[in-house]
Structure 1
Amino acid sequence: MAVHNGSLLNVLPFHRMNLMQVDSVQRWMDDLMVMTECECMCILQSKPISVEDDSQSDLMLSTPDGSHNCLEMLLRRAWIISTELTKIVQKLEKNRWRRVHTMTIKTNCHVHSMIKEYNAHAKISAERMHQYQTLLLDKCSELTELTERCTQTENEDELSSMKFSINETLTAVGQNFSQLINLALVQEVKGLVEQLEASDNIHSVEAAIRSLFGLTQEGDRLCHLVAQEEAVVGLFKILRQDHFKVLYPAALRTLASLCCMEEAIHQLDKVDGILCLTEILTDDSHSEATKAEVAAVIAQITSPHVTFTQHLSSFLENMEEIVTALLKLCEDSSTGESCLLASAALANITFFDSLACEMILQMGAVRILINACSDKQRVNTAYARDQVVTILANLSILDPCAEEILQENGVELLVQMLSEKPISGSLAEISACERVLQKSAITLARLGRHTNIAEAAINCDCIRQLIALCRHPEERYNSDAVLVACLAALRRLAVTHSDGIEDSDLQQLVRPRLVDSFLLCSNMEESFV
């Protein structure tokens, strides 16, 4: 009965951690404390390297806050131990008995070191924690004894029997380790939340916010753990105190990370967080950076993937003020990041319903967004243009939108977006460019029902660009979604101006069924694979 990688990794939540991507030299110095030969440990026992009591402090992560240091140590050790246990499973499957035993000893050292360090630095102690520590240490010792016996025999029957026992013990080690780490992290997070709610010291509160934010960056499981301990409540307590105003951006950034969790959004609603965010966003005394972080929180809680946001009555009650402030931030922002976050929040709101779109349109969104696109300081990336064209695409279902886009030279902008190219060449940027192409074509297809818009697009050489995107897969980054949108836009414009389209394009791209044209163009990709 073998333990497969997946079954052990299910109980090891920390086998991949962003926090662990630290300087390689620093990692080596940290590991020196536990990666030593047994003989060396005996010789150096009770013989300090330095006469100073804190001789080991240079080998540890130096932070001004003890709890932050303890938390980083805990996460670092958890990642190392998870990695080592995974390696043991892999070696065990290949019957590499001596290697398994050596790695077990190494893991045992890491576990002992982690527990010793945690007990030395943790401010919270609990009987349950000590029980888990004892269970884990006992299982680690049992695993070491079993793997040692495997190195002392070559009898296949004995090894097969012992392999079964090792698998069971290894799984128990993984489970106990996971439970211990979860319990320790819960205790640490509780301490950080209490620090937020009880402390008036700005440096102490800043350290707590920084630690909580770091945890939210380590994946959904840790983010859920932080949300579960009602960190949202503590963060809003900070956001309601003027003497912590300098910490608002950091608190809001942490809040935005937490609000990918449904539980965090429910907590936000319970503490009337929408009203608090609205007050900050509409208060001219707050900096642009602070308002941009509020926009990030709003963008998070209004994400189309979050299905329950529309049921937040407080958001609907404050939506007019929020939209007004977000549009003002787009108009007045001095950085691309501020404009990006504000436009992202507006883009998400346009997915609510037609009433939200009507409100945004009536507040002059078309003029503000098109003007922003002409300012390279505000809209300077494909990501920002993606948000702007998303708003225009959703507003284009409303008839009054067409006239405004025509007046603000928005058709020319949409045609220009059909040529969106990445700067860095990263996969994320290429994906953003694909979305810009697709949504620009969708907007043109929707607006093309208005004859004056169709004529303006044709005068901007739109038909030629659409045909090129259909004919040349590399121009649309081999995206089928872009192809469908371009075919739809081309067919809409052809109603107004079919005379200017070559007969071969009409026969292949316009007159057949959409699915036939799609299959014709998508099959062109084969030569590029």
Structure 2
Amino acid sequence: MLGIAPTRTTNMDPVKTDPAVRSRPAKSATPSSSAVSSSHSLPSSINSSAWQAASEDSVRLWMSELRWYVESDCSNVLHNKAIPQQQQLQHQSILRHQNCLPASPRVSIEMLELNSRKLLADFNAVLVSIQSSQLKRVHPLLSALTSCLRGFLQNLHRLLSMQQPVSLPILKPQAEVASFREIEETLLTLCSNLDTANSELLDVYLYAMSLPAVDARFLVMNGHLPPVDAVLRLLAEAAEAFAAVLDAAELQLLERVVNAVRCKTSGANFTAALRDLLRLAMKSERLSCLVAKAEAVETVLQVCSDRTQRKFWPLALRVLSCVCCVEESIRRFDQSNGLATVSGILGELGNSELVRAEAAGVVAQLTSPYILGKGKDLLGCLTSHAESLVKSLTLLCKEADCHDVFLLASAAIANITFISPASFEYMLKYNTVRALVDACQLSKAASLFAKDQVATVLANMAAYAWCHQSLTRHNAIELLLHFLSESPMGSCRYASSSSSGVKSSACERLQQKAAIALGRLARDASAAQIVVELAGANRLAQLCRRPEERNNSDAVLVAALAALRQIHDSVGSEDLEERDVVQLIRPRLSEAFLACSRLDESYV
């Protein structure tokens, strides 16, 4: 039996022992029976070598192990103490606010979001420590994590119980309430299992530390140590249960906000509830999905259908445009026939420009290429409302006095052109091209972003030969050549460093789309001749030869080379020889690209 070697107590002795702790090394030097039995059986030769190594200097061994027993307790105490550091101030304010009545469910959700980010960071710290084999850090980190999870559940119950009830009661299915309790009990059970696994991991780690290096490496190589697989599995299950508890709690709070909208009590509370939905939907796609599950889309559409709530339409439409960025929201929007409601608001001339602009923002959001892939069922509905949407948006582009209004309307039209060719017939019917070209002569379309939307419409229309005559008649070629003259150096000369990159990208897209549109229009010989007469070929050649004019963009280079070749095929090489662009056309496209590209090549 391993014990403490007898020592003589003098004033010079560095260590004083007491009878109460003399039996401790026997337990600490050798792992507990439960820990050893939970791992694989150990060879007898290794056990005998461990006993022999421990008996050489038991006091030194006990001192080396003593810090592992107190480190977890010290870590737990420090974790609960308020450390006055800058990164802790925000978390401290959240904890202090949990002891008082929250101002609204939105504030409660924001508090939960901040706490969840802190807990997710703790999950990640434990995972990184295990993956990097820093097992001595796992025990205090895992102990702190389980303690924080239990504290989170306690604060969650307190926070939900302090919420003020709304006048319209929330009737939750019994199965949903039971499911929330089951998830909570599952998380508590996983915390207990993690504590047990953490203790076993510590015991086995301490035992490995007591062995010689050769024997410890033998155990690790043969899979006996460390038993981290169970900890990783429990950690993954705890993270999943924590996410489920967080979603269920935030869904309850969101239902209170939606009910406040559904009640339509006072104007101030009604507006505050809509603003809360807007702020929460803008935070993340996960919260947008939870907002949709709380039936916010159906409730807000009812507001937009109620003419007595007309003064709240701009804010309600803004909520719809922010929420409808996830598949759940788009599906509910389609099931509620929301596009008909929005199209009606957009086409009603009695509505203010602000209301129609917000409705155009909803259409632009729903028809954007990124969003449209999430709601494929919405394609048929968009096609059926294409004529009314094109008519209303074209009129809004004509009447808009503000740059933001024109940008939303032109973006919606540009997105509709990607849906079906039928929309081009309505654009020719309602003179959409003329409205866009005329707007580009005014200040409301002076930005690169508005010009980008106009270039998108012109490029998509130029893909169809039956649209060429209308584009030529309404001076679209002159406008496209003006777009080619936009330079990223000139547009970003006085811009800040943060916005210069965004404007450079917008200028590249504008040049590329203008070159594509000119190349498509050049299939018509008369349109190609107009491009040559207006020195369009010279500008295309300049974009090819001067990389700084196109911000070193290879996409603009390819579009310009393709446009030059199409012009050459339509008008011949006689007029182009005088402009010294034939050498960009005669070689193959790949050779011309390599000659003009600024790609750095290394032959090392």
**1:311-335 CA distance string (max 9 Å, x none):** 6555444432221211121122222
Residue 182 of structure 1 is matched in structure 2 by 247
Residue 348 of structure 1 is matched in structure 2 by 415
Structure 1 residue 88 corresponds to structure 2 residue 126: yes
Structure 1 residue 514 corresponds to structure 2 residue 580: no
Q: CA deviation at 1:187?
A: 2.6
Name the amino acid aligned to 2:241: N
Q: Do 1:382 and 1:429's aligned partners in 2 also have CA atoms closer than 8 Å?
A: yes
Counterpart Cα distance in 1 of 2:117 and 2:135: 24
Q: Do 1:281 and 1:294's aligned partners in 2 also have CA atoms closer than 8 Å?
A: yes
Report percent identity of matched pairs.
30
Task: Note closer, same or farther for the CA distance 1:226–1:463 as it changes in structure 2 (3 Å cut).
Answer: same
**Correspondent of 1:415 among 472, 475, 481:** 481
Q: CA deviation at 1:506?
A: 4.8
Q: Decide which structure has the larger Cα Rg and report it.
A: 2
**Partner SS, residue 526 of structure 1:** coil
Q: Do 1:29 and 1:59's aligned partners in 2 also have CA atoms closer than 8 Å?
A: no
Counterpart Cα distance in 1 of 2:262 and 2:86: 34
Counterpart Cα distance in 1 of 2:548 and 2:256: 54
Name the amino acid aligned to 1:171: A
Structure 1 residue 375 corresponds to structure 2 residue 442: yes
Residue 32 of structure 1 is matched in structure 2 by 92
Counterpart Cα distance in 2 of 1:491 and 1:385: 25
**Partner SS, residue 525 of structure 1:** coil
Q: Do 1:296 and 1:342's aligned partners in 2 also have CA atoms closer than 8 Å?
A: yes
Residue 237 of structure 1 is matched in structure 2 by 302
Query: TM-score w.r.t. structure 1 length?
Result: 0.80
Counterpart Cα distance in 1 of 2:327 and 2:235: 34
Task: Note closer, same or farther for the CA distance 1:106–1:129 as it changes in structure 2 (3 Å cut).
Answer: same
Structure 1 residue 499 corresponds to structure 2 residue 587: no
Residue 564 of structure 2 is matched in structure 1 by 490
Q: CA deviation at 1:77?
A: 1.4
Counterpart Cα distance in 1 of 2:485 and 2:447: 13
Correspondences of 1:15-94 after superposition (within 5 Å): 28-32=88-92, 56-57=96-97, 64-65=103-104, 67-94=105-132
Counterpart Cα distance in 2 of 1:516 and 1:332: 48
Q: Do 1:34 and 1:113's aligned partners in 2 also have CA atoms closer than 8 Å?
A: no
Name the amino acid aligned to 1:94: S
Structure 1 residue 102 corresponds to structure 2 residue 149: no
Counterpart Cα distance in 2 of 1:75 and 1:339: 36
Counterpart Cα distance in 2 of 1:443 and 1:318: 27
Structure 1 residue 392 corresponds to structure 2 residue 458: yes
Q: Do 1:253 and 1:293's aligned partners in 2 also have CA atoms closer than 8 Å?
A: yes
Counterpart Cα distance in 1 of 2:336 and 2:295: 11
Counterpart Cα distance in 2 of 1:477 and 1:527: 19
**1:375-427 CA distance string (max 9 Å, x none):** 22x12322211110111112224556444444544323211211332535554
Q: Do 1:223 and 1:258's aligned partners in 2 also have CA atoms closer than 8 Å?
A: yes
Task: Note closer, same or farther for the CA distance 1:145–1:266 as it changes in structure 2 (3 Å cut).
Answer: closer
Task: Note closer, same or farther for the CA distance 1:505–1:260 as it changes in structure 2 (3 Å cut).
Answer: farther
Residue 133 of structure 1 is matched in structure 2 by 184
Residue 514 of structure 2 is matched in structure 1 by 440
**Partner SS, residue 161 of structure 1:** coil
Q: Do 2:143 and 2:198's aligned partners in 1 also have CA atoms closer than 8 Å?
A: no
Task: Note closer, same or farther for the CA distance 1:137–1:263 as it changes in structure 2 (3 Å cut).
Answer: closer
Structure 1 residue 276 corresponds to structure 2 residue 349: no
Q: CA deviation at 1:338?
A: 1.1
Counterpart Cα distance in 2 of 1:284 and 1:366: 21
Q: Do 1:418 and 1:436's aligned partners in 2 also have CA atoms closer than 8 Å?
A: yes
**1:470-499 CA distance string (max 9 Å, x none):** 223443334333222211211222342633
Residue 400 of structure 2 is matched in structure 1 by 333
Task: Note closer, same or farther for the CA distance 1:313–1:501 as it changes in structure 2 (3 Å cut).
Answer: closer
Residue 65 of structure 2 is matched in structure 1 by none
Correspondences of 1:181-220 after superposition (within 5 Å): 181-220=246-285
The 10-residue stretch of structure 1 (408-417 or 85-94) with the greater mean CA deviation from structure 2: 408-417
Extract unaligned runs of 5+ from structure 2.
1-83, 164-169, 209-215
Residue 9 of structure 1 is matched in structure 2 by none
Q: Do 2:379 and 2:419's aligned partners in 1 also have CA atoms closer than 8 Å?
A: no
**1:262-297 CA distance string (max 9 Å, x none):** 443333233222221122112234332221221121
Name the amino acid aligned to 1:29: L
Name the amino acid aligned to 1:334: D
Counterpart Cα distance in 1 of 2:151 and 2:268: 30
Coordinate RMSD, CA, aligned: 3.4
Counterpart Cα distance in 2 of 1:190 and 1:310: 26
**Partner SS, residue 225 of structure 2:** helix
Residue 523 of structure 2 is matched in structure 1 by 449
**Partner SS, residue 338 of structure 1:** helix
Q: CA deviation at 1:344?
A: 0.9
Residue 161 of structure 1 is matched in structure 2 by 226
Counterpart Cα distance in 2 of 1:493 and 1:211: 55
The 10-residue stretch of structure 1 (338-347 or 485-494) with the greater mean CA deviation from structure 2: 485-494
Counterpart Cα distance in 2 of 1:149 and 1:391: 66
Query: TM-score w.r.t. structure 2 length?
Result: 0.71
Name the amino acid aligned to 1:256: S
Counterpart Cα distance in 1 of 2:364 and 2:503: 19
Counterpart Cα distance in 1 of 2:511 and 2:543: 9
Task: Note closer, same or farther for the CA distance 1:138–1:333 as it changes in structure 2 (3 Å cut).
Answer: same
Task: Note closer, same or farther for the CA distance 1:314–1:504 as it changes in structure 2 (3 Å cut).
Answer: closer
Task: Note closer, same or farther for the CA distance 1:409–1:446 as it changes in structure 2 (3 Å cut).
Answer: same
Task: Note closer, same or farther for the CA distance 1:298–1:460 as it changes in structure 2 (3 Å cut).
Answer: same
**1:415-444 CA distance string (max 9 Å, x none):** 121133253555443332222111101111
Name the amino acid aligned to 1:353: S
Q: Do 2:541 and 2:581's aligned partners in 1 also have CA atoms closer than 8 Å?
A: no
**Correspondent of 1:477 among 529, 551, 574:** 551
Counterpart Cα distance in 2 of 1:57 and 1:32: 9
Q: CA deviation at 1:90?
A: 0.8
